[in-house]
Amino acid sequence: MKHYRINKLAKIDGIVVKRKDILASSDAEAIRQAAEDRDCPICDVLRDGERVGAIV
């Protein structure tokens, strides 16, 4: 399992409103979890501080 951070954004490329840490087996799994999160209409998914995906 790898550690990922989901940053909920106010708008695309906007300020971070809320952060959430998750564990996932792959980048695709982390992005899927973010997409299913009701609290995440616009979010960035990061692994080791690098953006691996986004939900818009």
pLDDT digits (tens, 9 = 90+) for 15-33: 999 999 999 999 999 999 9
The answer to whether 7 and 46 have CB atoms below 8 angstroms apart is yes
pTM of this structure: 0.90
Q: pLDDT-based confidence at 39, cuts 50/70/90?
A: confident
Q: Which residues contact 44 (CB under 8 A, 6 or more apart)?
A: 6, 7, 9, 51, 53, 54
| C-beta of residue 35 within 8 angstroms of C-beta of residue 26 | no
